[in-house]
Amino acid sequence: MLRLEHVQKRFKDKVVIKDLSLEVHDGELLVLIGPSGCGKTTTLKMMNRLLPLSGGHIYVDGEDIAALDPVKLRRNMGYVIQQGGLFPHMTVRQNIEIIEKLEKRPKDEMTERTRSLMAMIGLDPEEYLDRYPAELSGGQQQRVGVARALATDPEYVLFDEPFSALDPPTRMALQDEVVSLHEKLNKTMIFVTHDMDEAIKIADRICLMKDGEIVQLDTSENILRHPANAFVSEFVGSGRIWSAPEFIRAQDIMIDHPVKCRGDLTVEGCIIRLQEYRVSSLMVVDKAGRLIGVVDKSVLIKRPKPDAQADAVMRPVRFSVHPEDQLIDIVKAIPPEDVGRINDIPVVDSENRLVGLVTNNNIVSKFIRPWLADTEADEEGRVTADD
């Protein structure tokens, strides 16, 4: 675990980090974000002792880093910077193996390790190992930068705005790559960015900084839902949650009072209610409010006997969701060929009591279309990325 306690940093008289305390959990991907100059890079560089602290302590697995050998510390803390930070006069292989060479690792072991690192970052060793950085695209250089940071199999990986100079499709592909490496490798990652979309996409938790202080530290969802103050809302962008469908839950978009009836309502009564509320279906509930079926307008058009009851003409509930279900999962559960013609989706609690309705209109127009459009763009991005 990485722990910062009352960390301060001054450059001459200028206080850059005021009093920063922070715990990075084992295995998490923590994003440090904030406006330019707020102290992100400074914080990262203090973690691997590229900069000394002016006050406070940083502990790695319980040990004060001030007491550790900086070279050993850095071996346990991969560091990825913009442009990959590769040495231009060295080949990809030499760049990746530089630290292992210093450690005089056996050659076979190194070759094997380098191959597996290349596989990990998705570059063909035959094709790329002997190239120089200038012979790689920006995205490929950045991938090699990641491989080099992983070469010593560190517990921690620090990223300082590694993708900010890349074009959007390449950046998106590399963000996906970081997420999948994080899932695979079980390393603790600290990722600096100033791009909120990037943060939302990759973070387990986001630490938002301003003027050398933490303004809010929480999950992406909580930051979007409950910004701590006006600065956070402004930075995050108001209404942002609506463009992050992964955080939208059924309760956010459902109507609270769906039009309903009891099973003993007559067909005539049903028709009157449907017309009165101008809806296309009635939710049928029992005495306890539990959902037992749905009466569709289409059934009523077939003119059942007027004194027949709702429970005789209703259809069973095909698909219902819970208030806390995420829209994205709901949408994924809908077969693609049905996307254009989904019925309203009843929302029920754990006792199957009807608590709301996600209307067809709401779900399709607000979310599914934009989401599908996004997904397509994403996949195109992946395909056209030059690496």
Ligand X SMILES: Nc1ncnc2c1ncn2[C@@H]1O[C@H](COP(=O)(O)OP(=O)(O)O)[C@@H](O)[C@H]1O
> Quick one: tokens of 289?
């409010």
Cα–Cα distance list, 79 to 5, 298, 362 (Å): 22, 62, 45
At closest approach, how far in Å is the CB of 161 from ligand X?
8
Token pair in block for residue 346: 């009843």
Number of residues located near Mg ion, criterion CB under 5 A: 1
Contact call for residue 206 and ligand X (CB under 6 A): no
Interface with Mg ion by CB under 5 A: which range of 34-42, 271-279, 292-300, 322-330? 34-42
> Measured from the CB of residue 24, what is the shortest distance to Mg ion in angstroms?
18
How far apart are CB 84 and Mg ion at their closest, in Å? 16
By CB under 6 A, name the one of 2, 16, 214, 236 that touches ligand X.
Answer: 16
Closest by CA to 209, choosing from 24, 39, 42, is: 39
Site size for ligand X, by CB under 6 A?
A: 11
Nearer to ligand X, 51 or 308 (CB): 51
Minimum CB distance to ligand X, residue 39 (Å): 4
Rounded to whole angstroms, how far apart are CA atoms 273 and 267? 10
Other residues' Cβ atoms within 10 Å of the Cβ of residue 317: 18
**At closest approach, how far in Å is the CB of 248 from Mg ion?**
32
**Stretch touching ligand X by CB under 6 A, among 39-47, 81-89, 118-126, 306-314:** 39-47
Q: Minimum distance between the CB of residue 216 and Mg ion, rounded to whole angstroms?
A: 19
Q: Distances in Å between the alpha carbon of 261 and those of 302, 308, 312, 318, 364?
A: 19, 14, 13, 18, 26
The 8-class DSSP code of residue 351 comes to T
CB of 19 to ligand X, least distance (A): 15
Residue number, 45 or 366, with CB nearest to Mg ion: 45
Instruction: Show the tokens assigned to 275.
Output: 């017309």
**What's the closest the beta carbon of residue 41 comes to Mg ion, in angstroms?**
3
At 49, which amino acid appears? R
DSSP per residue over 273-288, as a string? HHHHHT-SEEEEE-TT
**226 by DSSP, 3-state: which?**
coil
Total residues belonging to the chain: 387
- x-or-dash pattern for ligand X, window 40-79, by CB under 6 A? xxx-------------------------------------
Contacts (CB under 6 A) with ligand X, residues 19-38: 34, 36-38
Choose the binding region for Mg ion from 25-33, 41-49, 181-189, 218-226 (rule: CB under 5 A).
41-49
Question: Left (φ > 0), alpha (ψ -120 to 50) or beta: where does 253 sit?
Answer: alpha
Shorter beta-carbon distance to ligand X: residue 34 or 227: 34
Between 214 and 248, name the residue whose CB sits nearer to Mg ion: 214
Q: Mark the segment that binds Mg ion (CB under 5 A) among 38-46, 70-78, 140-148, 194-202.
A: 38-46
CB of 44 to Mg ion, least distance (A): 8
From Mg ion, ligand X, none, interface partner of 37 (C-beta below 5 to 8 A by class): ligand X
Q: Is 39 in the site for ligand X (CB under 6 A)?
A: yes
State which of residues 32, 41, 174, 300 lies at the interface with Mg ion (CB under 5 A). Answer: 41
Q: Does residue 91 bind Mg ion (CB under 5 A)?
A: no
Evaluate the CA torsion angle 27, 323, 234, 213 in order and state its sign.
Answer: negative
> What residue 36 binds from Mg ion, ligand X, none (CB within 5 to 8 A, per partner kind)?
ligand X
Helices assigned H by DSSP within the chain:
40-47, 70-75, 92-102, 107-121, 125-128, 138-150, 168-185, 196-202, 220-225, 230-236, 250-253, 267-277, 297-301, 310-313, 327-333, 360-361, 369-384
How does DSSP assign 318-335, residue by residue?
A: ---B-TTSBHHHHHHHS-
- For 276, list phi and psi in degrees, rounded to 5: -60, -45
Q: Which residues are near Mg ion by CB under 5 A?
A: 41
Q: Which residues are near ligand X by CB under 6 A?
A: 11, 14, 16, 34, 36-42
